[in-house]
Amino acid sequence: MLQFFPDWTGKHVWDLGSHYGLYAIGLARRVGPSGSVAAFEPNPLSFARLQLHVRRNKLNNLSAFPCAVSNVAGLQRFFLYEGLETTTSHLAYEGETWNESIPTMEVTAARLDDMVENGLIHLPDFIKVDVEGHGAIALAGAIKSLSQARPSLLIGFHSQNEVDGILNILKPLNYRVSPVSNKAPPFPTSGFDYIFDPSK
């Protein structure tokens, strides 16, 4: 990720789908006290470990939020097919139905634009997105912030619907895209990570 900025000092970062905080911890150290990292993780087990890592590293510039990010604020159903210990828990996908045989829980969802307007997080210079197929919904709640700040993004894609949704959001904002790995197709494809940079 070092290619994004020659100097990360003072940058503001959003980590959407922080899990245990691997990226969040490293980025908080790199941006330093004058920068900030806002880490979002709705899985309560993962969030507890994220908090532990923040405390152990004494990172006062890292704010961890126990919520999902979405285009609508409020409580949402969180599917737990393989339990909290895995990385596959997720908000309901479009068309995904629920019955009593599927373990779920309610989690809080927040809109990123609302959090910026309420002074809870800074406008971002960089966003990492890895939210189990919900990247488009997450960014749909941050359109105002994306348009104003024009951050760079690192996005992990999990479905074609997510690819299509994110491209619909970022194309009008004049972003250019490139794959992280030379093994990935040049155009965004599910199962691969891509860098989005704002065109000048």
Residues in the chain: 200
Q: Would 5 be classed as within a structural domain?
A: no
With pLDDT > 90 as the criterion, what percentage of the chain qualifies?
78
CB atoms within 10 A of CB 195: 17
Higher pLDDT, 129 or 106: 129
Q: Would 2 be classed as within a structural domain?
A: no
Q: Any idea what the CATH number is for the domain that residue 28 is in?
A: 3.40.50.150
Q: Is the pLDDT of residue 45 over 70?
A: yes
Going by pLDDT thresholds of 50, 70 and 90, the confidence category of residue 180 is very high
Q: Is the pLDDT of residue 23 over 90?
A: yes
Q: What is the pLDDT of residue 42?
A: 93
Please answer whether residues 109 and 65 qualify as being in contact, where contact means their C-beta atoms are separated by less than 8 angstroms. no
Average pLDDT, integer, range 23-37: 97
Of 3-7, 22-26, 53-57, least confident by mean pLDDT is: 3-7
pLDDT, averaged across the chain:
91
Average pLDDT, integer, range 178-189: 94
Give the span between the Cα atoms of 96 and 50, in whole angstroms.
28
With pLDDT > 70 as the criterion, what percentage of the chain qualifies?
93
Q: Outline where the chain has alpha helix (H).
A: 22-31, 44-57, 112-117, 135-140, 143-149, 160-170
Please answer whether residues 38 and 126 qualify as being in contact, where contact means their C-beta atoms are separated by less than 8 angstroms. no
Q: Would 183 be classed as within a structural domain?
A: yes
Which tens digit of pLDDT belongs to each residue from 121-174?
Answer: 999 999 999 998 899 999 999 999 999 999 999 999 999 999 999 999 999 999
Q: What is the pLDDT of residue 89?
A: 72
Q: Is the pLDDT of residue 18 over 90?
A: yes
Q: Would 3 be classed as within a structural domain?
A: no
Q: How many domains does the chain have?
A: 1
Q: Which domain holds residue 62?
A: 12-198
